[in-house]
Structure 1
């Protein structure tokens, strides 16, 4: 066999840039492993036991959490190396108050502990996604590791708790008045029902129906509604959006339209079941319209989730539009226009979400 040598000159390497990127890559290896560290800290109650407790030793923390000191010492060392906890010297570690909010306080919109659970669950599908990259197939939402569904809810729920009733719904034209008087509301892609339950608790005169294609999530939503005391005004059905029936004054999509195979078809069907003066509230991940404006930490997280979860979900369904989690408002406007909506306006936003109002 004759070997043909390339005539393309090898570019000269910038040694400083090379060393810097090696450092970045090693940091990212620690970051990937840090996701598992965070989930362990959450699942074993290590963060909660450290919150507000001041400096503790590994032995003290292990005793408080019913864990083994040797494991806890290694975990604390890893967390100190990434700056999640502070090494105080004399084998003592502390959790800064600000970090405790982010890692333990699920009432705060700053809490992102659920994102770690979601990310770790998504990583379980790496082998399947490698095959999907080659053959173009998808991975359905219901085919992922079971921790995905709780993690996703825990990530988004603090933001919903902080904003949905206080800011987002009042920003929609005339909607809050309807909800107080008694309206029919559909929550598409409701998951475990966090958004449905929040709205039902705030507006007892209205009736809320949550729809999701994942049967396990619907079962959990029913349990959560019962526990919250709103089962009398909520219903949950295992259905795709194309099978939704009824007439609704408000239809909500919480962080799910971009996961659907046919978002235009989904909004078209919703327009058919929307009351004449009804409203669609579309909550989507925060994203600018240009790629270069999404090259930031939030964009990095959302593009990662989109690669592992959102795009494969869409590609597993009919049409497979694959909007991705960073579609941006302009692309979403094109989808709404194609579905026959004439009005779209952004009514609210957070660092993680944009809220769009769609009307006929």
Structure 2
């Protein structure tokens, strides 16, 4: 039986090629954005206002010919504007918030380190996919850990203390009075240290199975001068302690091989009136509902980061980064939680509350 080959629709073909050209340009320019971060170009543009390539070269001490090409690429990407009458390039305040100002709640440039790491690991991940094997979080290029920290830090700083925690039933009062908190899968400890800074009467314990991340978390906490948080190497099913008032999972439960077992262990470690705070990548409950730019990014990340991590661990459930609230509610119910609800959301995250 032969299958008739259909002739391509010319308009759709042109649309497909156009999208690929756009995507290829974005992939190339991602490296240039990071080069701009590393060389201080975004910061210099933010501080200088409209500037020529010669002025930027004088300000940064870099070769003008390189800068001219870099600036042109950013204009073509829509990140800078160009005024031909006076040959100047300008970084708008809105773009500065995303590309130049690291304390901005919407700073995203650092997250491109995460994407850079994927290209470095591509061949090894391809082999694992070919063989049906997992790829552990700890196996990735170290740039992944830097990118994860820098991608999530702005959102945590902007939302965790002032927006997310107040939506949980009675949690803020406990934290102010002095609570015991476990931050599971804490990575570089950004969330752990934010909690410790905001609630000095509480004890915040960060746990992660990756010893390199725990070492970095300790360094960052010391730099911030925080002394009511601690960091230990431990997994989601063997971390020490009991009677926790709050157990948190920030963008990590879906990476675990056995999320049901992790939440079941957490339920046993909670105080009778304790709370689990589950922060997960934003997703609706079905594929058609997630066909948008955020869903596109998260499905891609899930393919090369989240799902391989889960498949590398016992049980290997493979929730994926776009599990959605309904699937996560099923996981919590199977783990023995009687109450589960969406507390709030952002464009990038679902914030979910589970109670015994």
Which TM-score tier does this pair reach, normalised by the shorter chain?
A: over 0.9
Q: CA deviation at 1:8?
A: 2.2
**Aligned counterpart for 2:113 among listed residues 109, 112, 117:** 117
2:102 partner SS: coil
Distance in 2 (alpha carbons) for counterparts of 1:71 and 1:238: 44
**Aligned counterpart for 1:7 among listed residues 2, 7, 24:** 2
Distance in 2 (alpha carbons) for counterparts of 1:8 and 1:147: 46
Distance in 1 (alpha carbons) for counterparts of 2:186 and 2:126: 29
Q: CA deviation at 1:55?
A: 2.1
1:325 partner SS: coil
Q: Does 1:42 align with 2:37?
A: yes
Distance in 1 (alpha carbons) for counterparts of 2:275 and 2:330: 18
Distance in 1 (alpha carbons) for counterparts of 2:333 and 2:15: 46
Residue in 2 that maps onto 1:150 = 146
Instruction: Indicate the RMSD between aligned Cα atoms, in angstroms.
Output: 1.3
TM-score, structure 1 length as denominator?
A: 0.95
Alignment of 1:188-337 (within 5 A): 188-231=184-227, 233-247=228-242, 248-337=244-333
Structure 2, unaligned runs of 5 or more? none
Q: CA deviation at 1:84?
A: 1.2
Q: Does 1:169 align with 2:165?
A: yes
Distance in 2 (alpha carbons) for counterparts of 1:76 and 1:308: 31
Distance in 2 (alpha carbons) for counterparts of 1:8 and 1:354: 45
1:47 partner SS: helix
Q: Does 1:351 align with 2:347?
A: yes
Residue in 2 that maps onto 1:3 = none
Residue in 2 that maps onto 1:71 = 66
Which deviates more, 255-264 or 72-81?
72-81
TM-score, structure 2 length as denominator?
A: 0.96
Distance in 2 (alpha carbons) for counterparts of 1:309 and 1:339: 24
1:242 partner SS: coil
Q: Which runs of 4+ in 1 moved over 3 A?
A: none
Aligned positions, number: 354
- 1:223-275 deviation per Cα after TM superposition (whole angstroms, max 9, x unaligned): 111222212x1110011111111111100000000111111111111111111
- 1:276-318 deviation per Cα after TM superposition (whole angstroms, max 9, x unaligned): 1110000000000010010000001111111111111111111
Contact 1:280 1:358 in 2 (8 A): yes
Q: CA deviation at 1:124?
A: 1.1
- 1:86-132 deviation per Cα after TM superposition (whole angstroms, max 9, x unaligned): 12225422111111111122333222112211111122111012112
Structure 1, unaligned runs of 5 or more? 1-5
Distance in 2 (alpha carbons) for counterparts of 1:139 and 1:7: 39
**Aligned counterpart for 1:84 among listed residues 79, 99, 105:** 79
Q: CA deviation at 1:52?
A: 4.2
Which deviates more, 245-254 or 108-117?
108-117
Distance in 1 (alpha carbons) for counterparts of 2:315 and 2:92: 48
Q: CA deviation at 1:59?
A: 2.7
Distance in 1 (alpha carbons) for counterparts of 2:270 and 2:158: 27
2:240 partner SS: coil
Contact 1:108 1:159 in 2 (8 A): no
Alignment of 1:90-129 (within 5 A): 90-129=86-125
- 1:178-237 deviation per Cα after TM superposition (whole angstroms, max 9, x unaligned): 111111100001111111111111111100100011111111111111222212x11100
Which deviates more, 71-80 or 332-341?
71-80
